[in-house]
Amino acid sequence: MRIAFLMAPEGVEQIELTDPWQAVTDAGHEAVLVSTKSGKIQAFNHLDKADTFPVQEVVGETSADSFDGLVLPGGVANPDALRMDEKAVSFVRDFFDQGRPVAAICHAPWTLVEADVVSDRVLTSWPSLQTDLRNAGATWVDEQVRICDHGPNILITSRKPDDLKAFREAVLTEFSKAAG
């Protein structure tokens, strides 16, 4: 499987990128860092700068149909920047339109709200997003991980870094099922 990890050039919570990334690559799949600009992305440990990671593909120069699934890591600034980028929002929406699985953790569902893909879905997130998600038509639950099988694709959501073990297990299981 080829899995896109979409993030803005700055603001991703490092552990929410590196932990699922490692799980995907350890399982023998290809993880691809996709961003809105070429170069490197700057990760953070909460509010402190952490490591940088090289961008492999750029939104607008790649498409959802070249991937088997999408992972959206969180961090506060990351999804806030992505939701303001038209090409990034369109890229996310394309995964839903094509029935491909999507996983989002922490604040990442903000990008899903902007892509208008949460209506009538049940999902979880960092607690401060629950009003935004409800206003967008979703049902918010406080759970480690939530798998929403709604329509042609699967949406996996999780609350925070403490839930990463359950998140990565759900990602590997559900993405593998979807790939057939």
Residues tagged active-site:
106
Is residue 7 within 8 A of residue 78, CB to CB? The reply is: yes
Write out the DSSP string of 33-82: EEESSSSEEEEEETTEEEEEEE--EEBTTB-GGG-SEEEE---SHHHHHH
